[in-house]
Every structure is written in structure tokens, then in C-alpha cells.
Amino acid sequence: MVFRRREKRSFLKFFWEVILSIKGLSRAIEYIKIRIKRIPDTPHKISLGVSCGIFASFTPFFGLHFVIAGILSYLIRGNVLASLIGTFVGNPITFPFITLFNLKLGELLVGKSESTKYDGGEIFEGFLDIIFLFYKKFFTDGSFVENSSPKATEFIYTFFLPYSLGGLILGIVGASTSYFLLRPLVDTYQKRRRKKKKLRQEKRLWRKKFETR
């Protein structure tokens, strides 16, 4: 079978991984918030860029999310830097959950349920193993279709296609939701920042006038 955990996890280890996931996710969100605030662009372009990054994180092309996000953002005239920051939504902590949700939705749509015996961590590890084998074969042999192994064929039809279908739908939903939630927040922050900047400038002018008297 494609996915098989090398060592069985104990309940305590699983519980600890969940705790780390929550802490890591909160840190990732805080980092994204700080970086987005410092981007000098319109709320529309920033939100559009972040949405591209989030969408890219739901695709099965691990290792290429930066590239996919940047190209998408460039094509639809979003902020490319914001799109790169948006890809941090997908990280080693959140990918097992994204992977599991994508697969479950994809399997529901195509009428399969092959991954029910595996958890998100196992599937994600298996994805990385197979994906990087494909990359290696592609860059060395120029193709990963010819002479593909039964294991690779099983992976494509049993996991890759459902993942891609589920990821396409969840990626669009996540990207659209993030855009409409993020745009007013960025707009509000920028207005407050401009207001504070204007107040500081007025204070400097007042001090200069006071000093010249």
C-alpha cells in the first residue's frame, strides 16, 4: 500500500502533536498578520494576493506553492509578495489537516473511500514521498508517466486525483472567504495608520511653530 506509517504513534504522542499544531497555527496566523500589515499596496491587491497563496496551499504540488501563488497573483494583478505570505497558511502543521479534508471531499465526489484507514499525517508523509519521487524522475528522465511503477499508478488514481479535486473546491472556498474577510480588515488598518501618521505630522508642525516663537 502507498501509505504506511513507519512507527505506530501512541495516544500521548498524538495528543502532543495536536497541542503543537494549535500553538504552531496561532504563531503562523500572527506572523501572517504582521507581514500583511507592512505591505505597501491597496487592500484589494493585498487581499487578492493572500487569497492566491491560500488557494495554492490546497494544491497537491508540494514544493511549488510559492511558484503557483506568485504566478496566479501576477496574472490576476494581485500583490505577489502577499501571495507568498499567504502560502504560509499551508505549513507542516496544517498540511496533514488540509490533506485529509481534500481527500475526504474528493473521495466523496468520485465515490471512493480508500484513505479511511489512514490519518492525515500518514497521507501527508506518503504524498511527500511520492511527489518528490515524481519530481526526481521528471528532472532526471524527463518524464514520470512512462514506466511508472504500480505504486505510483495506485497513488495517482487513488489519492492524487481525489486530492486535486477536493483541493480545487476547498481552495476556491478558502481563497474567496479570505478575500472578503481580509479586505475590510486591511482597509481599516491602513486608514488608522494614515490617521496616526497625519496626527504625528501635525504634532511635528505644531512643535516647529512653537519653537520658532
69-97 per-position pLDDT tens digit = 999 999 999 999 999 989 988 887 788 88
174-191 per-position pLDDT tens digit = 999 999 999 998 899 888
pLDDT at position 149: 58
Distances (CA, A) of 182 to 20, 80, 160, 189: 26, 16, 31, 11
Q: What is the DSSP letter of 165?
A: H
Residue with cell 513507519: 6
pLDDT at position 138: 65
Q: What is the DSSP letter of 64?
A: -
The structure's pTM equals 0.74
Per-domain residue ranges of the chain: 11-205
111-160 per-position pLDDT tens digit = 766 655 556 666 777 777 777 777 776 666 655 555 555 666 777 777 88
- Cell, residue 77: 494583478
29-58 per-position pLDDT tens digit = 666 667 777 788 899 999 999 999 999 999
Residue 82 identity = A
Q: Which of 24, 21, 46, 20 is nearest to 35 (CA)?
A: 46
Contact 2, 126 (CB under 8 A): yes
- Cell, residue 87: 502560502
